[in-house]
Structure 1
């Protein structure tokens, strides 16, 4: 597998073009609805536009992003961009340092590898945050195909299952024969697909979201639905009817939406920013959780790489190949799940247990859909706790190396 170091370097003319487009925005007429009731608040968007065009320093953001060790690899004919940070041992300089445990973490939409910056710090160097240094990880954080600096696939069919195949090959190419997986949003689907298709390599899977396309065994041949499961399915359908329009468009008419969002920076900011507010534990004020610089770093990644259309493609592919385990298939690797209170859905434990071997289930005190950004310390602690017995078992089975 060919691997090359990668550094972000956006051209000056692209930055100037972005600022010019923001300043030339043709604003949509406002409606009499209360702020945020019908989507992105126009007043907030105008404030964000002024900051983006006049104050946001992309070069500073770029320097911070480039502090993350990034690479490009050719994997199964697909170029994959990824962060690969090695974990810090037991004590700096100690010859008895424990081996960091390999973990692949996968983002979703409307996020990016940037989501994981603080979480990676926590996972790779736990001692720096007062945690046990024996819990250190080697973290691999790939960009999904079509996201950021991972080019879009040239052939159809790249659903969560095909991405899982890419990740398994990537981890093997990096020297990790066995590893753990973690993810939320689209990354949760990829992590479940890794457990389904690569159980010989995946020691365990930790999730902080359950894909909406996940379908376990139900019906006459399976256990009847519990009341909690019936409530969950009803709430999921109600949420989809009122809040799921974006996903329906992504999955059915992605090119139509992309034609607009790829041409308008403020349209892109509205499409992405509204979700960071609606799905986070921000109490209605998005900047209670995310600074303008954080929001605009992520949105700018989408803009400069022109990936909003390719990123939607995975919704199309996942619709054609959903997480369907209705035939009764069970996943053998153990699964941990962290339930954040402001997440967009809250499946009962029994719903996962129809397919998964759930060994850790945690009701988190705060946080939402973007847990790695909102609550990196809480999420890191859950990930450490879940993988602690798995790493001990795995390393005991192969004491001479990974």
Structure 2
């Protein structure tokens, strides 16, 4: 049954919450494998590193595994074991996972993914956070989880008009939590998930008592101005701040191409809607450290993510045809992505070393005046919940323990 067919069977009342299930057709999966095998390959890059982009050797290994060994049905089975729903908010179908803990006094939390992520990014934290006693933690740290798909991503609807920026998404999330009957809850996010979560905090809907982020927006105005002007770093930066400066300077110089294209011309990306290998390469070219990890994985390494993890997520984008619709979020948002937004709600910040930049404590303290948790981890990167679910779960528990 396709997504469209499922939705046509649903009730018409806009506030209805309808059960959701997705099964790709055999024809869709056969077509995917055919397209992978029919890829017209370019020549190898003329350098011995990734400075020209995603390397041919990495994508050839990915394509071989995708066509011959990846099992999408296993992903469907995992998703089928999790309660999924769709509800219409502000004229758009919003898909979400909703997993209630067996512990009645669990704290509700809405968790938002980013790009190029999806709800698949959060599957590994469902068990540790909803059933902590089965994972060596205390029942008092249990959560009820709501994990929505961003508009234009995954199984959520694709906006047909403009305006679905992080601010509007945050309003939809507040309505979703109200509709689910949660009158006291917290929120978590990284990447676009952080942008939405911070806007939710600024909206301050009744019941939201705190947030946690693994990709905080903390860059001081003077630092941002110096980066934009390609000036040298200020002389008074401490070691943490200088490390963050170096990461940001590298990202702005070498890592922004994908965001600039999606922010300016998302509709031009027809190629990644037509070629699965093109889509995979585009999604891999997100940040240097994530790419390095993925390249090692497809070379046979075992760390953080697996080949199946990576292809589960890319296949979801392919089957839902959301390459372009997800890209439009970059066009829609007019927020300064890394600038402090004035969040005053209690906030927890977890700094993973291989994130785009590791926020210094000094910047986080200034950005979040009600900082209730700050910790620098020794491993993990941009996809923290996906790469390091145990550490991520510990960080979320620690952040919200004082708000229960």
* TM superposition score normalised by structure 2: 0.86
Q: Which runs of 5+ in 2 are unaligned?
A: 1-14, 224-233
Query: Which residue matches 1:313?
Result: 328
Q: CA deviation at 1:273?
A: 2.8
SS in 2 for 1:338: strand
- For 2:403 and 2:285, locate their aligned partners in 1 and report how far apart those are by CA, in whole Å: 38
- For 1:14 and 1:333, locate their aligned partners in 2 and report how far apart those are by CA, in whole Å: 45
Query: Which residue matches 1:227?
Result: 237
Query: Which residue matches 2:179?
Result: 173
- The equivalent position to 1:279 in structure 2, one of 290, 299, 306, is 290
Question: CA distance change for structure 1 residues 74 and 58 in 2, over 3 Å: closer, same or farther?
Answer: same
Q: CA deviation at 1:317?
A: 1.4
- The equivalent position to 1:57 in structure 2, one of 71, 74, 93, is 71
Q: Contact 1:4–1:71 (CA<8 Å) still a contact in 2?
A: yes
Q: CA deviation at 1:16?
A: 1.1
SS in 2 for 1:331: coil
What RMSD in Å do the two structures reach over aligned CA positions? 2.4
Q: How many residues are aligned here?
A: 373
- Establish whether residue 197 from structure 1 lines up as the match of residue 210 from structure 2: no
Deviation per CA, 1:2-40: give whole Å up to 9, x if none.
111111111111111111111110001112211433222
Q: CA deviation at 1:58?
A: 1.5
Q: CA deviation at 1:124?
A: 0.4
Query: Which residue matches 2:140?
Result: 134
- For 2:208 and 2:361, locate their aligned partners in 1 and report how far apart those are by CA, in whole Å: 21
Query: Which residue matches 1:371?
Result: 384
- Establish whether residue 341 from structure 1 lines up as the match of residue 347 from structure 2: no
- For 2:235 and 2:371, locate their aligned partners in 1 and report how far apart those are by CA, in whole Å: 18
Question: CA distance change for structure 1 residues 352 and 12 in 2, over 3 Å: closer, same or farther?
Answer: same
- Establish whether residue 29 from structure 1 lines up as the match of residue 43 from structure 2: yes
- The equivalent position to 1:264 in structure 2, one of 262, 266, 275, is 275
- The equivalent position to 2:58 in structure 1, one of 36, 41, 44, is 44
- The equivalent position to 1:292 in structure 2, one of 307, 310, 315, is 307
Query: Which residue matches 1:70?
Result: 84
Q: CA deviation at 1:235?
A: 4.2
Q: Which runs of 5+ in 1 are unaligned?
A: 90-97, 392-402
- The equivalent position to 2:343 in structure 1, one of 331, 341, 347, is 331
- Establish whether residue 244 from structure 1 lines up as the match of residue 256 from structure 2: yes
- For 1:201 and 1:217, locate their aligned partners in 2 and report how far apart those are by CA, in whole Å: 31
- The equivalent position to 2:317 in structure 1, one of 302, 307, 313, is 302
Query: Which residue matches 2:30?
Result: 16
* TM superposition score normalised by structure 1: 0.87
- For 2:288 and 2:71, locate their aligned partners in 1 and report how far apart those are by CA, in whole Å: 22
Q: CA deviation at 1:285?
A: 1.1
